[in-house]
Structure 1
Amino acid sequence: MPIYEYRCTACGAAKEHLQKMSDDPIAQCPACGSADYHKQLSAAGFQLKGSGWYETDFKNSSSGGGGHSCGNGSCGGGCA
């Protein structure tokens, strides 16, 4: 379940709530009872562990450009 951040515009209280994605947003501030309690937009934090696509596809190679579609390696490994 994701953690959502909420902030009350009336009293300034901020709190995180663990909710299902299908749950309705919390409408009332738990600190002051105001209806000015809104969900904030925040970046998701996660960490990639183990082996997987991110390890094999985005690893820096020391071959000097071999295998790049641009042919010369001048793209820094970001060629398409």
Structure 2
Amino acid sequence: METGPYIINKTNPPAEPTPPSTRRYHHRFDFEIGYLVESPCKSCGTRPVFPKCIDRCKILDNIHSVLAAGVSCSRRR
């Protein structure tokens, strides 16, 4: 059963759900595992000049930064 942003386990319900502000993992964009759910370009005000606007787009720069920070470093020695 889902209530609000929390999923409640009926067999072992938590005493109190963790409020979103204290969770360790915070989502900044609409992606989970390396792909966007919807392109931010679809609702952008500079859509008429697409793709010329890509080089100066701050939203895409932020998305690239977050995705690059999530790249696995398991081979790093």
Give me the TM-score of the superposition, normalised by structure 2: 0.22
Question: Which protein has the bigger helix share?
Answer: 2
Question: Which protein has the bigger strand share?
Answer: 1
Larger Rg: 1
